[in-house]
Amino acid sequence: MVEWSEAKGHGFISFEKHRIFVHQRDFSARHKRTEVGDVVDFVLGRDDKGRLCAQKVEHHNGGGRIRFWHLLILLPFVAGPGYALWQAGGRANASLVFGCAAGMSVISYLLYWLDKLRARHGQWRVSASTLHLVALLGGWPGAFLAQRNFRRKSLGLRFQLLFWLIVTLHQFLATDYLRGWPMVRAADAEFVRLTMTVPK
């Protein structure tokens, strides 16, 4: 993007030594304020007067970016489950345990990237259930960073609610494990009590 006026809602894109006109109405989605220097993807088309213009415009990285404060937000959420994994695996297996956890985050991140790529080409998207399943299996840190970077699935309230429930579940399990499973044991005992008292 070599020229942009937020007040007028239009500007110009540099493309193969040409200046291509672009209007804000031709953006497929705008997740951020458009600025000079932004890299965008678009379809080359023509306006009502037959002039070249950009259509179906979208920021190349979805308008997002992983910033330092995103890592600061993620750190306290990772600390508890990370320490629980270290305790569960022991020092001897720490590399294996953390390697598996990191691997799930990488898989989760790549799935968001694939979802973004398919969206650009009008192909079938990666299902929300698949993204949530990988997050549930331990890939939620990678999912968090991918949502910031690709801006995919980051605006849906229902999706975000379920995602943060998964994060909360991991926090709960990590805390309960480090305390010797008191909550899980209590819930199990209550379940047994209710089962025994149900009339046959």
Residues 115 and 170 in one domain: yes
Q: How far apart are CA 185 and CA 190, in angstroms?
A: 9
pLDDT at 106: 96
Residues 35 and 127 in one domain: no
Residues 34 and 115 in one domain: no
pLDDT at 48: 83
Count how many domains the chain has: 2
Q: Is the pLDDT of residue 104 over 60?
A: yes
Residue 8 makes CB contacts below 8 A (sequence gap 6+) with: none
Residues 92 and 163 in one domain: yes
Q: How confident is the model at residue 199 (pLDDT cuts 50, 70, 90)?
A: low
Residues 38 and 109 in one domain: no
pLDDT at 198: 57
Residues 37 and 86 in one domain: no
Domain membership of residue 37 (yes or no) is yes
Q: What is the pLDDT of residues 113-149, one digit of tens each?
A: 898 888 767 678 889 999 999 999 999 999 999 988 8
Residues 54 and 144 in one domain: no
Residues 85 and 142 in one domain: yes
Residues 100 and 158 in one domain: yes
Lowest mean pLDDT among 29-33, 112-116, 128-132, 190-194: 29-33
Q: Is the pLDDT of residue 92 over 80?
A: no
pLDDT at 137: 95
Q: Write the burial class of residue 121 (CB in 10 Å: 0-12 exposed, 13-18 middle, 19+ buried).
A: exposed
Average pLDDT of the chain?
86
Residues 50 and 79 in one domain: no
Q: What is the mean pLDDT of residues 152-165?
A: 81
Residues 105 and 156 in one domain: yes
Domain membership of residue 151 (yes or no) is yes
Q: Is the pLDDT of residue 78 over 90?
A: yes
pLDDT at 31: 62
Residues 53 and 88 in one domain: no
**H helix intervals, the chain:** 68-89, 94-120, 128-134, 140-150, 157-178, 182-197
Domain membership of residue 200 (yes or no) is no
pLDDT at 108: 96
CATH number for the domain that contains residue 14: 2.40.50.140
- Per the structure, the complete domain to which residue 24 belongs is given by 3-59
Q: Is the pLDDT of residue 107 over 90?
A: yes
33/75: higher pLDDT = 75
| Domain end among 16, 39, 59 | 59
107/49: higher pLDDT = 107
Domain membership of residue 153 (yes or no) is yes
